[in-house]
Amino acid sequence: MSAIKIGVIGGSGVYKIEGIEVVREHTVLTPFGKPSSEIIEAKLNGVSFFFLPRHGKHHSFTPSDLNYRANIFALKELGVEYLISVSAVGSLKEEFPPTTFVLVDQFIDWTKGKRERTFFNNGFVGHVSVADPIEKELQQMMVEVCKEVGVKHGVGGSYICIEGPQFSSKAESNIYRSFGASVIGMTNVPEAYLAKEAGMAYATIAMVTDYDCWKEEHCTLEEIMKVMATNNQQVHAVLKKLIPKLHANPFKFKKENTFAVLSKPEVMSADQQRMLDVLMK
> Collapsing DSSP states into helix, strand and coil, what is residue 229?
helix
Please list the residues that pair with 40 across neighbouring strands: 25, 51
The answer to whether the peptide bond before residue 165 is cis (omega within 30 degrees of 0) is yes
How far apart (Å, rounded) are the C-alpha atoms in residues 170 and 143?
A: 31
Q: Are 77 and 83 in contact (CB under 8 A)?
A: no
Q: Which of 65, 132, 210, 271 is catalytic?
A: 210
How far apart (Å, rounded) are the C-alpha atoms in residues 228 and 12?
A: 9
User: Residue 170: in which H helix or E strand, if any?
Assistant: helix 170-178
Check if 277 is active-site.
no
Q: Which of 105, 109, 132, 212 is catalytic?
A: 212
Check if 212 is active-site.
yes
Please list the residues that pair with 52 across neighbouring strands: 9
Measured CA to CA in angstroms, residue 114 lies from 190, 205, 234 at distances of 11, 25, 33
Supply the residues annotated as catalytic.
210, 212
